[in-house]
Amino acid sequence: MQPPHNVLLLVFPEFQLLDATGPADVFAAVAEHLPKQLGVPYVLRGISANGGLVRSSTGLELMTEALPEPTSLAGCTLVVAGGFGIQRVMGQGVLARWLREAGPVAARCCSVCTGAFLLAQAGLLDDRSVVTHWKYASLLQRLFPKLRVQQDALFVRDGDFYSSAGVTAGMDLCLSLVEEDHGRALSLQVAKGLVMYLRRPGGQRQFSAELLAQQAPEGGLLEQLVHWLRGRLHQELDIEAMAARAAVSPRTLHRHCQAELGMTPAKLLFQLRLEEACRLLEAGTPSLKRTAEKTGFGSEYNLRRAFVQALGVTPSEYRQRFCR
């Protein structure tokens, strides 16, 4: 009988409930698919600065232990939740100081959503690839310029440090950890039991630009612009051309995009091009040069740079993983 693997879930007041309970459910479900004589595969422990009940942003509370001695984390997996309370807890500094010692000791140190801000504050992610919820990626990069923030990856690994995008992406990350520990067949069983889609390791996009564009008012300026752009991604386009098509000034277009989509016109165009490139590669388009030309990236170099920056994989790796 193997000793159980300890998983510590670090939370704070106003944490995102699913950032902790989602990973917990993934690890807990493993026991259902292993012979009982092998014992309990994972032991889950909630931890916080002071222990006791910690209220999530939903109002529900999680019972926790006080922070353990950092040296006790040897061989453990540490998962740091995110949530609306991240700014306050960063201001207090207690968790960052503890993480600075505990993170390097843990066998695996992971963050979910804005939990990456705590690991970054602790200095654990300097010169590492990292991801967070797409809404906060630019802020994370601005606050911590030593990080290599990927704008649209679902989850990434850099050494013993793992980070994932928003909320449910933490479950995808933990499913990949189960695969590391117990193999793909068992992780697939866990995914089926939880009615999850078993994503292949890394390189998956967080969101669809098409879905994002649906936030814009129906029949409005941005919906029409996105429709127009889709048929012209192979052309040379800039903000001035986009604004002219929408019959507004570049400044007005920028304001509409920020207000309705939460991104600049340039970022919207980039996302549409990336999404189309992914679609072509998933369909098995054989030539990377042709993919780059059809999506407006122009060259294989630009296509590769866009994929590595946004998804953490090259176009060839993406095609290998996701080609139907």
Looking at the structure of the chain, the number of domains it has is 2
Report yes or no: 18 and 25 within 8 Å, Cβ to Cβ. no
Strand-pair category, 61-66 with 155-158 = unpaired
168 and 41 housed in the same domain: yes
Last residue in a domain, options 168, 193, 218: 193
189 and 215 housed in the same domain: no
Angstrom distances, CA of residue 187 to CA of 37, 177, 200, 224, 321 = 19, 9, 11, 42, 17
Does residue 202 form part of some domain?
Answer: no
Q: Where are the beta strands (DSSP E) in the chain?
A: 5-10, 42-48, 52-55, 61-66, 77-80, 108-112, 129-130, 148-149, 155-158, 161-164
State the pLDDT confidence band at 317, using cuts at 50, 70 and 90: confident
CATH number at residue 221: 1.10.10.60
Closest CA to 44 of 70, 19, 78, 17: 78
Max distance between CA atoms of the chain, in angstroms, equals: 70
State the pLDDT confidence band at 142, using cuts at 50, 70 and 90: very high
CA distance 9 to 23: 9
162 and 103 housed in the same domain: yes
State the pLDDT confidence band at 206, using cuts at 50, 70 and 90: low
Does residue 244 form part of some domain?
Answer: yes
Does residue 288 form part of some domain?
Answer: yes
216 and 174 housed in the same domain: no
11 and 132 housed in the same domain: yes
Does residue 43 form part of some domain?
Answer: yes
CATH number at residue 134: 3.40.50.880
Last residue in a domain, options 130, 158, 193: 193
Report yes or no: 170 and 27 within 8 Å, Cβ to Cβ. no
Does residue 248 form part of some domain?
Answer: yes
165 and 229 housed in the same domain: no
Report yes or no: 62 and 11 within 8 Å, Cβ to Cβ. yes
Higher pLDDT, 261 or 179: 179
How many residues are recorded in the chain?
Answer: 324
**Sheet (strand 155-158) strand order:** 52-55, 61-66, 42-48, 5-10, 77-80, 108-112, 161-164, 155-158
21 and 133 housed in the same domain: yes
Report the interhelical angle of 221-230 vs 250-261 (nearest 10°): 100
Phi, psi of 178 (to 5 degrees): -60, -40
**Residue 153 is part of which domain span?**
5-193
Number of H helices, E strands in the chain: 15, 10
Q: Encoding tokens for residue 145?
A: 């310029």
For 264, the 3-state DSSP assignment is: coil
96 and 230 housed in the same domain: no
82 and 19 housed in the same domain: yes
CA distance 91 to 120: 13
The residue with tokens 């990350």 is 173
pLDDT one-digit tens code per residue, 147-168 = 999 877 889 999 999 999 987 8
Mean pLDDT of all residues in 127-137 = 92
106 and 35 housed in the same domain: yes
State the pLDDT confidence band at 298, using cuts at 50, 70 and 90: very high
44 and 176 housed in the same domain: yes
Q: Encoding tokens for residue 150?
A: 């990927």
Query: Considering the entire predicted model, what is its pTM?
Result: 0.73
Does residue 200 form part of some domain?
Answer: no
189 and 213 housed in the same domain: no
Last residue in a domain, options 132, 162, 193: 193
Does residue 144 form part of some domain?
Answer: yes
Q: Percent of the chain at pLDDT above 90?
A: 66
pLDDT one-digit tens code per residue, 78-112 = 999 999 999 999 999 999 999 999 999 999 999 99
Q: Residue 208: is its pLDDT beyond 70?
A: no
Does residue 198 form part of some domain?
Answer: no
